[in-house]
Amino acid sequence: MRLLSKFLWLLAFLAASFCWMVLFEHGFSMKGFSQGVKEEWQTLTRLVTDKEDPTVKETPVNPPQGK
């Protein structure tokens, strides 16, 4: 039972952190909060679900070093 309460506290902490982050980044209005939640949730799901092939990376082209 103690493990369940720890897990629920962790979920509450993550939800509160997400809400505070959205409020500070998108404003303390209902419109800003609701639009911000949609944007940030899409960003989070995209971050978690998109799998890129690690072998295919765009390597930045370094300019030649001047002497």
Contact 33, 55 (CB under 8 A): no
Residue 62 in any domain: the answer is no
Residue 64 in any domain: the answer is no
Q: How far is CA 21 from CA 14, 27, 40, in A?
A: 10, 10, 9
Residue 61 in any domain: the answer is no
Residue 66 in any domain: the answer is no
* The predicted structure's pLDDT at residue 62: 72
Residue range of the domain that includes 32: 2-48
67 pLDDT band, cuts 50/70/90, is low
Q: How far apart are CA 56 and CA 4, in angstroms?
A: 41
Tokens of 32: 């800003």
Residue 29 in any domain: the answer is yes
Residue 63 in any domain: the answer is no
Indicate the length of the chain as a whole number: 67
Q: For 2-20, how does the pLDDT look when each residue is reduced to its tens digit (9 = 90+)?
A: 999 999 999 999 999 999 9
**Count of domains forming the chain:** 1
Contact 6, 16 (CB under 8 A): no
* The predicted structure's pLDDT at residue 15: 96
Residue 59 in any domain: the answer is no
Q: What is the pTM of this model?
A: 0.67
Q: For 34-64, how does the pLDDT look when each residue is reduced to its tens digit (9 = 90+)?
A: 999 999 999 999 988 887 665 666 766 777 7
Residue 58 in any domain: the answer is no
